[in-house]
Structure 1
Amino acid sequence: TAVTVLADWLLPRVLDGESAALAIGLWAENSPEWIIADLALWHCSERHRGSIAAVPLPGFFSAGQLAHVQRSTAMRWLLLAEDCDSSLPVVASWATPIAGLRLARLADPTDAVAPSWAADTVKISFTSGTSGQPKGVCLPAALLDEVIGALARRIQSGLSLQTLAPHLNLLPLSTLLENLAGVGVPLLLGRPVIALPGAALGLQGSSGLDPAQLLQALHQHQPGSLILLPQLLQVLVQMRLQGLPLPESLRFLAVGGGVTSAQLLAQAEKLGLPVYQGYGLSECASVVSLNAPAANRCGSVGQPLDHVQVRVVDGRIEVRTAVPTHYLGDAPGAGPQWLDTGDLGEFDAAGFLHVSGRAKHLLISSFGRNIAPEWVESELALCPAVAQAIVIGDARPWCAALIVPRPGQAEALPAQLAELNARLPDYARIQQFRLVRPFSPADGTLTDNGRLRRDVIAAREAAQINDIYASTTHAQEAPMSFFQRLQAETARERDYLLASPLIRRCLDGDSFTLEEYIAFLSQAYHHVRHTVPLLMAAGSRLPPEQERYREAIAEYIEEEIGHQEWILNDIRACGADAEQVRHSQPAFATELMVSYAYDGISRGNPMCFFGMVFVLEGTSINLATAAAQIIQQRLGLPDRAFSYLRSHGSLDIKHMQFFEKLMDSVQSADDQAAIIHAARRFYVLYANIFRDIGVSARLQEAA
């Protein structure tokens, strides 16, 4: 195999003339080559017990952190990808038998310490922790095997492996959690692993994320399992709340790496996401406890795995493994010992572990109330406008937050914080907040697994914090905006649309024919050609006091003129007769939707037309771009066959941003009710167009 080929090639080169233990670094983006290199190093270590230890290097480590790792391990060898540049000093390098992977000889650090680790160590996992230089945890092979085996047994309970799709690595493979649970466990269970660079998944750098690209990648690769940080789970939940469908292949979403809000977990469960929270730490070789299909309690981190013992002493969680670990440079322990994790928690009556936060992070207000900031931060993460947040308030009269907003959503924060505060006890409410620049491992404000480095952030934002508590004004509460109401009160009907079999088959990569795509375009033509006439009709019926909405309609008309011709061009690119479509009659479902729109404008409140705008443009944003790529890959059509879908996917994002502000200006209760009522009806009417296409296609196949 590639693993043994690489191991056989490596051993004579790295052991030549060496007598001391060797640390060999691994530096690459997520890829099959990373996995091969990691397994080869493990193979080398087991063949030469105590001689070789693999050191996975996080790609977001700074040059100073990498230099510290090299000094503390006396690392002189580095396996790295051809397209990766290391800040470590390379003396020479060689191509390996594995394409895209090379071996580099590093310059000896002048202040290196003599390496010291137990003879059974196969891997040294460096974690940046919450302060100071990265610390290396020496991990023995026996413990890693126990963790992988225990995880496999837990995951198997209540889950059919025969139907489980591949695991997709989202976290860096240099992270111990993804390394063991995202590679070791699937391989033990005989499941495939998909390893892709972060850029291919919409993951940019250490903390950037492109949700649209992530969704596209999920639909393209159809994974069965993922490992998520709480921030990634929040993104998936927001996708579902916005009506974005996730692949039905997803069967097991493990979440860990920080305290996750019980409400977020419950929300995910309600939305049908198979989420299972776990808990672990590097000092115990990652996972200690995990929920699973056969035993899952929302809000807990599961029951302990069968290879560890866990107890709670004075509110603090302690863990003991049969095979001990130790920090690099420390003497190995004499045997199994209880490790004080520093985490606060408790067991419930059924043996499920609940974690509330870190003991050393506990905030004690000037009124003597104890507050775990992780708990409030996990609630803050539920706010759609919050990308990152840290809660402060130690020795202060009330809590405040430093918030990194999502792009373009800062204005929504006061209203969302008001909703959050209504759920929190008075002593934990966020009374003030300030906007700050993003937190990242690159600037030392986050650890390698995404945890906040509170002291570093407090130092960086000292001026902001002083300004917060110099003010005596608390955060003002604000009601939910009308646009938020519109989203919330049409959720059931939106789900009806997204559950349409044709949409599901398309986005899940199942059977989808050219005839169905042409049928979709044909019906799109028959309702899009009415967009401008409908806009004109609505504008003509608006009273003078609603002139601002007439102006908005005029802008829409200017944007929408001629879009039906784009669709006919797409039909021609598919090889179909566009002129026949132009002169044909719409399907019954399409005619019904268009007729309802004209009727609502002429007999009812013309503002109802904005309900149709909300449905059609919101659906374009959610589905168009991803659907275009999936259909093109499946049918092999040229780019010119997707001008309607692709242009509307991007164009309607701008429209929807404008639309949100426009809707939030609607003050009349009658107008708001008309828009919500119409949106509900249009979701169902639009869904029936897709359902009619699917039924017609099946009838044609049967004939």
Structure 2
Amino acid sequence: MSGPIYTAPPDAGPCVRGRTIPDLLYEATDAYDNPQALNQPTDEGWVPMSLDQFRRRAEATALGLRALGLEQGAKVALLLESDVHYCVVDMGCLIGGLIDVPLYLSSAAEQMQYVVDHAEAEALVVSNPKRLGQAAALLPDLPRIETVIVCDPGDEDARPDLPDRVTLKTLEAVQALGRAEVEDPSAAVDDLRAEIDPQDLATIIYTSGTTGRPKGVMLSHENISSNAITSIAEIDDFETGPEGEVVISFLPLTHVFARMLQYAYMMRGISIYFAHPDDLVDALPKVRPTVFASVPRVLEKVYAGIKKKVMGMQGLQKRIGEWGLQVAQDYDMTRSQPPLYALKRAAADRLVFRKWRAAFGGRVKYVVVGGAALQPDLANILAAADITTLQGYGLTETSPVISYTRPQRNKPGTVGEPLPGVEVKIAEDGEILTRGPHVMQGYYKAPDETDAVMEENGWLHTGDIGEFDEDGFLKITDRKKALFKLSTGKYVMPQPIENRMGSDPLVDNAVVVGRDRKFCAALLFPAPDQAQALASERGLGAERDIEDLLTEPDIVNAYRSIVQSANEGMEPWSTVKRLALVPDELTVDSDLMTPTMKIRRPEVRTAYADEIEALYDEDGAGGGRGVVLVEV
């Protein structure tokens, strides 16, 4: 028997259903007049688009796509940067009753080709000449694609050759076609909108997956709209309209997390500035956002940068910086602080914390964190500096949010409480199950795989292991597939200790191994910049590469201490006994990380099979490739 069913807190707002995604746009344009609703990054700065301009361009796109012969329910593949063009094309598809299929820009050509073919897409929209070049290489093997649309065409002479069957059009030309093809564009748009039902399929998002072929997650208009409406509704001081919150958006819109939030922001009429992740450091002080979404790694890198800067200081300045770090590390948002600490925190705010906030632009109210676990220590440290993180949990299959921590009920180390309308329970084996309007319609053309995760009564098996604490807050403890058994018969959940090790700025990634072995070991991937900062602090030289630094006993001992600290309080059989320091980086390009920055464990085990064998060599031999083996 599974445990009790958990729902939203009693004072939570209602679950709003029955809306299409375009409904959210039209409600926004009726309520707000924002001249800077969407802001496109360029070399000269951001070019604004008003909310009404966005609506009109999306409508023209919808009419143009239908004028090209795409019928309601046709699939349109998107090879687009995460910017205003994406938003216009996406909304155009949705108004036109079309189903869009986003492609991960980092995917290999074979993966992209599989997704476009499997989804049976009839048209492909690309951002620019670079993406058009990528598309050109795929098109010979994609016979269904007869129309390619480019948003920013660039130099016409530099366009690649396309198959004879393919017609190339600019987005501007498609929009002009849409306006010209109908006598009354407004009435034509009304007719298109009348054809859309909230239960209609809006998008198919192919999950990157840590194993096997990607699966096409079918999400309806209501799946996403209910999530977008509900997710921000309980943030009481969220200011709406053109004078309200200012958002910087740098996460990929190919992921449902960023895309759902874009709809939520749009509905509230606020200003969104798009930026590439590589430009984030420069963009933050220019945009000065009040709200943004992030993955934990971005916040970890910002904090690591703060610590690195402190390490490089001298004299009194360094002592003040170190003192401020300690004050932040002593903070616990779930407890009232004694008066003496409040005074110290106020002093630290004047001397140290305001500089931390400046790194985020100076006026951030909330950072919405998703995609992976945010370490409780970091949540508390940022909260000490008045930077509030709201940790969310969900899947592509759940549109995506299942639960999140509200500002008034924020508990580090948890992913909060369910959204209104969402039910969550824990199965006998610890797996998290959820049911509600957020749950997908299924996997596209994969009924067996759908049946494997969805019960007839609506419960979705998330594949995550978790538990509810005494206050009804959900904790994620591991991935079900990540569980492994030692040769001793003991089961190990690797994620808790991986999270502990990975929360240290010196560590970029950590992977615990030990399946069918006598004990647990770990592959630790150092963060080179932090190792160099530590080397500088200890007089070992800051300019040495990571392989060279791993020959220094002081540096190796620092990593040994991290693992020893992570082992504390863990079950004896799940502690790490040996460690391999690997001077490599896990990346999407190497196929060792998914596009959503999750570790592909099977691929990592294969890529580092020799290093893993060396960890279990009785003589302690092996290593190679600059790898350092360490007894913990």
Q: Does structure 2 conserve the Cα–Cα contact (< 8 Å) formed by 1:7 and 1:41?
A: no
Q: 1:54 to 1:431 in 2, by over 3 A?
A: same
Residue of 439, 445, 462 corresponding to 2:586: 439
SS in 1 for 2:589: helix
Q: Does structure 2 conserve the Cα–Cα contact (< 8 Å) formed by 1:399 and 1:430?
A: yes
Structure-2 residue corresponding to 1:275: 389
Q: 1:223 to 1:9 in 2, by over 3 A?
A: closer
> Partners in 2 of 1:91 and 1:53 — Cα distance?
17
Residue of 298, 305, 329 corresponding to 2:445: 329
Structure-2 residue corresponding to 1:350: 471
Structure 2 spans left out of the alignment, 5+ residues: 1-52, 140-144, 167-197, 311-354, 532-545, 621-628
> Partners in 1 of 2:370 and 2:556 — Cα distance?
26
Summarize the alignment of residues 286-685 of structure 1 with structure 2, pairs less than 5 Å apart: 286-314=400-428, 315-322=430-437, 324-330=440-446, 337-407=458-528, 409=531, 410=546, 411=550, 412-424=555-567, 425=570, 426=572, 427-429=574-576, 431-471=578-618, 475-476=630-631
Q: 1:286 to 1:175 in 2, by over 3 A?
A: same
> Partners in 2 of 1:122 and 1:363 — Cα distance?
38
Structure-1 residue corresponding to 2:298: 232
SS in 1 for 2:130: coil
Residue of 79, 84, 91 corresponding to 1:39: 91
1:430 CA drift (Å): 5.2
Corresponding position: 1:53 with 2:99: yes
SS in 2 for 1:248: coil
SS in 1 for 2:462: strand
Q: 1:471 to 1:9 in 2, by over 3 A?
A: same
TM-score (norm 2): 0.65
Q: RMSD of the TM alignment (CA)?
A: 3.2
> Partners in 2 of 1:270 and 1:101 — Cα distance?
51
> Partners in 2 of 1:472 and 1:229 — Cα distance?
41
> Partners in 2 of 1:108 and 1:342 — Cα distance?
43
- How much identity, in percent, do the aligned residues show? 22
Per-residue CA deviation, residues 411-438 of structure 1 (Å, 9 max, x unaligned), is 4353133144134234323521130532
1:54 CA drift (Å): 0.9
Structure with bigger helix share is 1
Structure-2 residue corresponding to 1:138: 218
> Partners in 2 of 1:127 and 1:69 — Cα distance?
10
Per-residue CA deviation, residues 334-372 of structure 1 (Å, 9 max, x unaligned), is 976101111111112221111101112113333444332
1:231 CA drift (Å): 1.4
Corresponding position: 1:129 with 2:206: no
Per-residue CA deviation, residues 530-551 of structure 1 (Å, 9 max, x unaligned), is xxxxxxxxxxxxxxxxxxxxxx
**Amino acid paired to 2:503:** L
> Partners in 2 of 1:19 and 1:122 — Cα distance?
14
> Partners in 2 of 1:432 and 1:267 — Cα distance?
28
> Partners in 2 of 1:431 and 1:256 — Cα distance?
31
Q: Does structure 1 conserve the Cα–Cα contact (< 8 Å) formed by 2:219 and 2:441?
A: yes
SS in 2 for 1:470: coil
SS in 2 for 1:168: strand
Structure-1 residue corresponding to 2:111: 65
Per-residue CA deviation, residues 357-406 of structure 1 (Å, 9 max, x unaligned), is 11121133334443321212211222222222222122223322223322
Residue of 288, 309, 312 corresponding to 1:222: 288
Per-residue CA deviation, residues 663-693 of structure 1 (Å, 9 max, x unaligned), is xxxxxxxxxxxxxxxxxxxxxxxxxxxxxxx
1:476 CA drift (Å): 4.7
**Amino acid paired to 2:401:** V
Summarize the alignment of residues 85-124 of structure 1 with structure 2, pairs less than 5 Å apart: 85=131, 86-87=134-135, 88-89=138-139, 93=148, 120-124=200-204
Q: Does structure 1 conserve the Cα–Cα contact (< 8 Å) formed by 2:75 and 2:100?
A: yes
> Partners in 2 of 1:432 and 1:199 — Cα distance?
32
Q: Does structure 1 conserve the Cα–Cα contact (< 8 Å) formed by 2:208 and 2:594?
A: yes
**Amino acid paired to 2:427:** V
> Partners in 2 of 1:101 and 1:275 — Cα distance?
43
Q: 1:345 to 1:224 in 2, by over 3 A?
A: same
**Amino acid paired to 2:594:** T
Residue of 255, 273, 276 corresponding to 1:197: 276
Q: 1:94 to 1:348 in 2, by over 3 A?
A: closer
Structure-1 residue corresponding to 2:263: 184
1:17 CA drift (Å): 4.7
Q: Does structure 2 conserve the Cα–Cα contact (< 8 Å) formed by 1:439 and 1:445?
A: yes
Q: Does structure 2 conserve the Cα–Cα contact (< 8 Å) formed by 1:357 and 1:373?
A: yes
Greater radius of gyration (CA): 1
Per-residue CA deviation, residues 109-145 of structure 1 (Å, 9 max, x unaligned), is 9xxxxxxxx9710111111111111111111001111
SS in 1 for 2:528: coil
Structure-2 residue corresponding to 1:266: 380
Q: Does structure 2 conserve the Cα–Cα contact (< 8 Å) formed by 1:157 and 1:292?
A: no
Q: Does structure 1 conserve the Cα–Cα contact (< 8 Å) formed by 2:146 and 2:165?
A: no
Q: 1:147 to 1:294 in 2, by over 3 A?
A: same
Residue of 64, 68, 78 corresponding to 1:26: 78
Higher RCO (CA-CA < 8 Å; seq separation 6+): 2
> Partners in 1 of 2:228 and 2:487 — Cα distance?
46
Q: 1:24 to 1:375 in 2, by over 3 A?
A: same
Q: Does structure 1 conserve the Cα–Cα contact (< 8 Å) formed by 2:93 and 2:100?
A: yes
**Amino acid paired to 2:560:** L
> Partners in 1 of 2:291 and 2:155 — Cα distance?
27
1:471 CA drift (Å): 4.5
